Structure 1
Amino acid sequence: MLMYCIMTRLIKVDAVNPDMALIRIAADVILKGGLVAFPTETVYGLGASTYNDDAIRRIYAVKNRPMDNPSIVHISSFNQLYEVAEDIPSELEERLKVAWPGPLTVILRKSSRISEVASCGLSTVAVRMPAHPVALALIRESTPISAPSANISGKPSPTRAEHVIKDLWGKIDLIIDGGETFFGVESTIIDYTKKPPVLYRPGPFTVEELRRIFGEIKVPEQALGLGQFKEALAPGMKYRHYAPDKPLIVTECSSLDGLVKLTLDLASDEVKRGKRVVVLCSSETCSTYVKAGFKVIEAGSRGNLYTVAKNLFHSLRLIDSMDVDLAVAEGYPEVGIGLAIMNRLRKASGYSMVKCTT
């Protein structure tokens, strides 16, 4: 295993109006082949110049990320889109102008400028234009940036600088602290080289919104978090992701009353087996589990699933900080961003799900 012990620098910027002098310091690190963790509207990314193969290899080493798991190329303009991709359908730019900047990644044919290392040997490239002032400024001051999430591979993605510090301090050159990210789950990914386009990873840009812009979208069962794709054409398609160290079980039921009963019964059964249990629950249901004697982590409101998404990865990280043996997490409706939440929870559990029988 490669060991790293370098001086990591931390700089703090305002998420909306970042100090450009500090952004230029980070951009200089990128241009000189260094690694910078930076906030986006989804999660923190670990970035390197898309055109520096050695720097990209270092991302994979410090994350312990499989070399066949591609990163996303982050751009700041449509000019850069044509720099990193080719054979772009004529209608796509107008459609992307509706979605970008934003939490949508599109898979396209890669240009000749994208190396085998940057593309993991694929003929395609995953591209997005982030909707975060810090990320856009960093790209504008440097170059298109290849970036997976700024965490140890397989663990919950970082939504706060403290998460990045815990995972990568002493392994990367610089961390930009821009506060908590806006959405809290990674970008939606569609493959536009397929007809119709295929959803590979649900995210803040919902299927309902995708269909209004792009028309028909194919949603395979793997995108629901019901198994893995055989090949990693984009992040999140293969390998276990988002997982705490401690076991996680997800409960699923069509009715809220049934879900609470299922979760209580399952948690109680685990206690009878001598396990210490924490329940990952919504603000509407947590009091029920507290009254039953369980520790809880409140994820957010069912009335606004964006709050659950925003808190999800921090909640999964909290599990490992608690004196418990396992966690039981409530499921959520698979509508809107709820689909992204369930994709992450199912993957985080290693597909350990318990469903209502009625």
Structure 2
Amino acid sequence: MNTKKWTVDKHVDNLKDYPQITEPAELLITNELVAFPTETVYGLGANAKSDEAVEKIYLAKGRPSDNPLIVHIASKEQLQQIADEVPSKAESLIDAFWPGPLTLVLKKKQGVLSGRVTAGLDSVAVRMPDHPVALSLIAAANIPIAAPSANTSGRPSPTNAQHVLDDLEGKIAGIVDGGSTGVGLESTVVDCTEAIPVILRPGGVTKEEIESVVGAVRVDEALKNAAAAPKSPGMKYTHYAPKADFFLVKGEPSFIQKLIDENKANGLRTGVFTTSEKKEMYKADVIIAPAAEGDLKKIAASLYATLRTFDEKEVDIIYGEVFSEAGLGSAIMNRLLKAAGHRVIEQ
């Protein structure tokens, strides 16, 4: 299959009327797969009403079929078409954070969406992305779009068009190139089907921000216990992993350097994921320090690209520092732990 690419300037007015939007929208309508940018990561879009289209997502990504998908919409009218009930707390979160990196799990309307989207559940995960290209594409297609991250299942999520092509070229009909994404981590997922909302996946909207709107929320046990069964899209299986062995390390730079030296002595090519304050403390084959320790937004935005860069540099083993789990740090550590397969070395 030839994967067509459309390059779009997200700052142009009336985007949905441009061929770079109308052409991929027509492909979505005819049940083909189209990747597109959101403010979080690139999504792999398909008609959420079509079994045929959604099945193509699972095949292209190599995604397990019991892993549900997030549905992307461009208006509240579309939400009413697919959600059976929107509780008051969900309405408050919508008013505060949509469009934006927040996914809400709601009771679904029966007979509207493909059963392949919800993996047999009676709920649907839905969000409205905060990106003009994504919103224009969904509006032009005028259908709800199922869209997991546009990468091979298990690999680091894509934050630019080249990442998508690296994984999926020849497997999908097209990609809308709208430049690099902003947040860089997937959306926060909140289950609003219970009286007290439950965070199923940390992401671009923090727990503290959510609680400032709706009061106390719970955190899914699976986020604290790796052995527990997660309920959120994108959290059931290992994700975000680079090709090299990846370990998180709780310890001083001198301890991490000792680990590096041991592996270098065994002929392995080593990498370190660190911060700008500590970059000069290491001697490894590849050292990547995307930002200062306190600049969590920049670290989040570059995290997946950093993991992919280690692949490009062909390292054999990577050691990553840990971060505070306050605020956005919770989402960063969640993704790093998943990428490392929860392998943590302590000094």
Q: TM-score, normalised by structure 1?
A: 0.91
The aligned counterpart of 2:115 is 116
1:315 maps to: 306
Give the root-mean-square deviation of aligned CA atoms: 1.6
Please show how residues 90-101 of structure 1 align to structure 2 within 5 Å.
90-101=88-99
- The answer to whether 1:355 aligns with 2:341 is no
Equivalent AA in structure 1 for residue 239 of structure 2: H
- Structure 1 residues 99 and 170 mapped into 2: Cα distance closer, same or farther (>3 Å)? same
Alignment of structure 1 residues 75-154 onto 2, 5 Å? 75-112=73-110, 113-142=112-141, 143-154=143-154
Structure 1 position 210 matched with structure 2 position 210: yes
Structure 1 CA distance, aligned partners of 2:209 and 2:255? 32
**What's 2:10 paired with?**
15
User: Could you tell me how far apart the structure 2 residues matched to 1:238 and 1:129 are?
Assistant: 23
Q: Distance in 1 between matches of 2:319 and 2:99?
A: 36
Structure 1 residues 294 and 170: CA distance shift in structure 2, 3 A: closer
State the one-letter code of the partner of 2:146.
Answer: S
Aligned length: 342
Distance 1:229 1:82, change over 3 A: farther
CA 1:170–1:135 in 2, change beyond 3 Å: closer, same or farther? same
Cα 1:104–1:293 shift into 2, 3 Å? closer
Contact 2:221 2:228 in 1 (8 A): no
How far did 1:344 drift?
0.5
Are 1:304 and 2:295 matched, yes or no?
yes
Aligned partner letter, 1:7: N
Equivalents in 2 of 1:71, 1:91: separation in Å? 22
Which amino acid is the alignment partner of residue 12 of structure 1? T
Any idea what SS the aligned residue of 1:251 has? Answer: strand
1:329 to 307, 320, 324: 320
Q: CA deviation at 1:49?
A: 1.0
2:272 to 264, 272, 279: 279
Please tell me the residue identity of whatever aligns with 1:353. Answer: V
Task: Quote the offset at 1:303 in angstroms.
Answer: 2.5
Which SS does the other structure have where 2:298 is aligned?
Answer: helix
Tell me which amino acid in the other structure corresponds to 2:132: P
What's 1:167 paired with?
167
Deviation at 1:190, TM superposition (A): 1.0
Distance 1:87 1:269 in 2: 57
- What fraction of aligned residue pairs are identical, expressed as a percent? 43
**Equivalent position amino acid for 2:248 in 1:** V
Q: In structure 2, do the counterparts of structure 1 residues 119 and 323 end up closer, same or farther at CA, with 3 Å as the change threshold?
A: closer
> What amino acid does structure 1 have at the position aligned with 2:107?
R
Q: Name the aligned partner's letter for residue 118 of structure 1.
A: V
Aligned-partner SS, 1:47: strand
Consecutive unaligned residues of structure 2, counting only runs of 5 or more, are none
Deviation at 1:221, TM superposition (A): 4.9
The offset of 1:106, in angstroms, is 0.7
- 1:42 and 1:252 map into 2 onto residues whose CA distance is 28
1:189-234 superposed Cα distances (whole Å, 9 cap, x missing partner):
111112321111111101110111121111245325x515425x32
CA distance in 1, matches of 2:136, 2:241: 31
Moved more, 201-210 or 316-325: 316-325
**Structure 1 CA distance, aligned partners of 2:241 and 2:284?**
25
Once residues 86 and 326 of structure 2 are traced to their aligned partners in structure 1, the CA distance between those partners, rounded to angstroms, is 30
Cα distance in structure 1, aligned partners of 2:278 and 2:52? 49
- Structure 1 residue identity aligned to 2:67: N
Query: Which range moved further: 160-169 or 215-224?
Result: 215-224
Partner of 1:3: none
**Matches of 1:52 and 1:246, distance apart in 2:** 37
Letter in 2 for 1:83: Q
Tell me how far apart the structure 2 counterparts of residues 80 and 58 of structure 1 sit (CA, whole Å).
Answer: 23
Where does 1:259-298 land on structure 2 (aligned, <5 Å)? 260-289=253-282, 292-298=283-289
Q: CA deviation at 1:273?
A: 3.9
Local SS of the residue matching 2:289: strand
